[in-house]
Structure 1
Amino acid sequence: MAARETGEAPAGDIGLYRDMLLIRRFEEKAGQLYGMGLIAGFCHLYIGQEAVVTGMESAARDGDQRITSYRGHGHALAAGMAPAAIMAELLGRESGASGGKGGSMHLFDPARGFWGGHGIVGAQVPIGAGLALAQKQRGTNDVTFVYFGDAAADQGQVAETYRVAQALALPVLFVIENNSYPAGGGLSGAGPGLLDRAKAYGLPVQGVDGMDVRAVRGVAEDAVLHVRAGKGPYVVEARTYRYRGHSMADPAKYRTRDEAARMRESRDPIDSLRASLLAEGAAEEDALRAIDREVKEIVSAAADAARAAEAPGDDALHRHVYAEV
């Protein structure tokens, strides 16, 4: 994970634990603020999927770029964006990452290699290939991480991007976050498998348990090594699970409460890593509790600062509309 404004993360698995916990607590607070009417528009939470972006970004370095969909709060945090700037953006405040005009779905911080936050399903995939093309033309061996979901994988532009990325040997790592449920419906996955589609264009592929952050980290390290070596694109499918509805407006009636409860009890990525750290003697209970307290304080401070911040003034309507040339 990139260095954050909240300080350096602990090394190794304890760092993974902290990073996932920060995303979880942030999203829980965002859900609370949405329920209070303080977040307008759509709000898509990442609860349950934290191991995917945490594990993938553990293989990133300065200079790498990333782009994702509207379910992007966790990715923004993993890129190193300040929790206060993200929370202020969710609340539409001028101190937000996008000046309070982007909201939950349009977070943006190019200084940290984070290019959104895109509301159109699958739109980020060809844009991500463009970022990778720029990296290649500059002669770097940096990687562009392109995150998208299983439903977005059905979009035609994804197939087209696979073809172009392979033909140009672009330094792009495609990460499919397969949480099994498209918007407002039951299980997806009709037709050829998601990795089979990429293989048809000659891309190397790898599947991974997206609820196991250590497993994701291992696959990420292999995939990033391939891309940095100039061997072209790579595709990872992380099989994960979202605990909440597609958005805060989705009651998720297409599955039972027992299903989500069973997943939380048996497969939760944070609880599983916590149990492993304690069983292996890699961390003490008091140390993990201290991390939890620290993360809660960071998130609470971000929420308090966002609620106290000013909304954009009327003059903000005319900013960023066009560029002087």
Structure 2
Amino acid sequence: MRKMLSLISTVLRGGASRSSSVHAAFMQLLKVQSEYAEMTFNPDCRNAPPSALLAPNQSATHSQLNTHQHTECTQPQDDWTALVMPQGSLHVESVVMETEIDKMISEAAKTQTLTGSRVIEATSQSLAPLPVTPDPPSPDLRPPTGSSNDTEQTPQQRPRPNPSQTGDRAVAEPRLAGSRVMVSARTYADFTPQVTFDIKKCDLHKLEEGPPEKAVLTREEGLQYYRTMQVIRRMELKADQLYKQKIIRGFCHLYDGQEACAMGIEAGINRSDHLITAYRAHGYTLTRGGTVREIMAELTGRRGGIAKGKGGSMHMYAKHFYGGNGIVGAQVPLGAGVALACKYQGKNELCVCLYGDGAANQGQIFETYNMASLWKLPCIFICENNKYGMGTSVERAAASTDYYKRGDFIPGLRVDGMDVLCVREATKFAAEHCRSGKGPFLMELQTYRYHGHSMSDPGISYRTREEIQEVRSKSDPISLLKDRMINNNMASVEELKEIDVEVRKEIEDATQFATTDPEPPLDDLCNHIFSNNPPIEVRGTNPWAKLKSVS
């Protein structure tokens, strides 16, 4: 015991060189500690088969460390503490000793990384120096806990990838209460490439059968959906912050909570298809091809915005995306016009026309239903029912809240709008209906918005905070997808956390651009109104008659 404490003191005072001697000192410390551990080692592990451990005082080579198996113990293998902690009696001096050991090892782990197989265990008496590779400091070297991926297979069953081929590096496990070292690595080969999920059945109107009740999700699709929805969520939260700082002015309607709608619809149609929506448009601007920088700059009215800083929150446009529209319900007949153009030009394209539960009671909606049905236009009408209008619940605003039946003669679906897979499969089903020449289709997406209707609406005067929190905890679209992927070994917690960090950085970079980019000059007022070339004279009285639109 005294020998161990003396060695620890020497290392901590700088007696061992960081570049050459710390590894040797570390190994010497392990050897001394093993002598102490023998007095308190778990007797249940003494009967392990000889093949599980290397012989005492044997010089272990790197290949030997890669090939030997785990020691068979009675503790569960998913409990890291149970694997390395001796179960004998420990007095106060041993607790102090372990604390000092952890400090020293943490310092050593910051400068050196052991390379090896999927999981390596070795006793201190047989551990020889391993090749080391420099590695930048890591904030947390402990292996993930609580993930179902780590308990699906035993370490003996898992494949041992070659780090030189996969590019992944092993990470030294610094916890050393017993006399072992654990090295863990994770490769993409460990993940499940594709999983089939059960999804909620849709309610049908004038249909004999609906979308499938199973959805196939690949790992690549899941990561893409997760990242896109996280970008929308973080972007909206940042917009809320900038609005309260009075950097964003005017109207601003946030989309957080409804991310599965935008992502699911985009996953169910083609990039060449068309989409038009109402003023809650930030998410669709992103999925239709806009960038975070362009969207944030448009919110702050800067020249680098997607509409040159002239449209703001409610009027954003991109290729095949005809914007947010400020007038309630006005986008619905415009969407039918886009669908008419698709049919007139003979293209195998369609138009997705979105509106909210508040706009669902507008008269022009029903006029558009009639015309689209008569002309069999390839148009998908989608009502995003987020339960509340401007301070009013749907029950107080509509005699019938079955919005998917409002088309009467138009077939419809009611879909779980908080599940990106449900939305995707329903959109694919509706798109196939329209492309086959059967006319329009109507969908109701049951979703929820976390913020108020707009920034002037606190969102808690007509609903409780508890209601919002319950939806967040039980039905959040991002959490639902995340849990599915982790629980089915499609991604690791660390991988998704890396995506979160990347998204935060992207949002911060876009915010920096949106607050420093210059505003559009006054001379640019009448530019980019029309796409015609040459410029068209703007009609009106003097002096406006002298202005021309420059494309």
TM range (shorter): over 0.9
Q: 1:229, CA displacement in angstroms?
A: 1.8
Choose which of 361, 376, 385 in structure 2 pairs with 1:154: 361
Q: Give yes or no for contact 1:210–1:239 (8 Å, CA) kept in 2.
A: yes
1:141–1:171: 8 Å Cα contact kept in structure 2?
A: no
Name the counterpart of 2:470. Answer: 262
Instruction: Tell me which of 92, 108, 118 is aligned to 2:325.
Output: 118
Deviations, residues 272-305 of structure 1 (Å, cap 9, x unaligned): 1111111111111111111111211221111111
Structure 1: state its 5+ residue gaps: 1-9
- Alpha carbons 1:51, 1:210 under 8 Å: kept: yes
- Aligned position for 2:544: none
Q: Please state whether the residue corresponding to 1:191 is helix, strand or coil.
A: coil
Give deviations 1:79-111, integer Å, cap 9, x for gaps: 1111111111100001111111110001112xx
Task: Return the letter of the residue paired with 1:283.
Answer: A
Q: Distance in 2 between matches of 1:321 and 1:187?
A: 37
Q: C-alpha distance in 2, partners of 1:184/1:34? A: 20
- Structure with greater Cα Rg: 2
| CA displacement at 1:190 relative to structure 2 | 2.1
The aligned residue for residue 502 of structure 2 is 294
Aligned residues: 313
After the TM superposition, which parts of structure 1 deviate over 4 Å for at least 4 consecutive aligned residues?
A: 320-323
Query: Where in structure 2 are the equivalents of 1:102-117 lying within 5 Å?
Result: 102-109=311-318, 112-117=319-324
The Cα of 1:179 is off from its aligned counterpart by: 0.4
Larger RCO: 1 or 2 (CA < 8 Å, sep 6+): 1
Structure 1 pair 282–321 and aligned structure 2 pair: CA distance change class (3 A): closer
SS in 1 for 2:414: strand
2: CA distance, partners of 1:321 / 1:140: 27
Partner of 1:304: 512
1:43-80 deviation digits (Å, cap 9, x = unpaired): 10001011111111101212111111110000101111
User: Residue 205 and residue 187 in structure 1: after superposition, are their counterparts in 2 closer, same or farther (change >3 A)?
Assistant: closer
| CA distance in 1 between partners of 2:265 and 2:489 (Å) | 25
2:388 aligns with one of 181, 184, 191? 181
**8 Å contact kept, 2:259–2:283:** yes
TM-score, normalised via structure 1 length = 0.93
Aligned to 1:84: 293
Name the SS for the 1:40 alignment partner.
coil
Over the aligned positions, Cα root-mean-square deviation in angstroms equals: 1.5
Say if 2:427 is the partner of 1:220. yes
2:220 & 2:375 partners in 1: Cα distance? 36
Map 1:1-325 onto structure 2 (within 5 A). Answer: 11-109=220-318, 112-188=319-395, 190-192=398-400, 193-198=402-407, 200=408, 202-252=409-459, 253-320=461-528, 324-325=535-536
Does structure 2 conserve the Cα–Cα contact (< 8 Å) formed by 1:141 and 1:230? no
Match of residue 87 from structure 2: none
**Aligned CA distance change for structure 1 residues 94 and 197 (closer, same or farther; 3 Å):** same
Cα separation, 1, equivalents of 2:309 and 2:504: 24
**How far does residue 20 in structure 1 lie from its aligned partner after superposition?**
1.0
Q: TM-score with structure 2 length normalisation? A: 0.55
Separation of aligned partners in 2, 1:63 and 1:266: 35
Please state which structure has a larger fraction of its residues in helix. 1
In 2, Cα distance between equivalents of 1:287 and 1:173: 36
Q: How far 1:320 moved relative to its partner? A: 4.3
Unaligned runs of 5+ in 2: 1-218, 537-551
Shift of 1:321: 5.5
Question: How far apart, CA to CA, are the structure 1 residues paired with 2:226 and 2:438?
Answer: 32
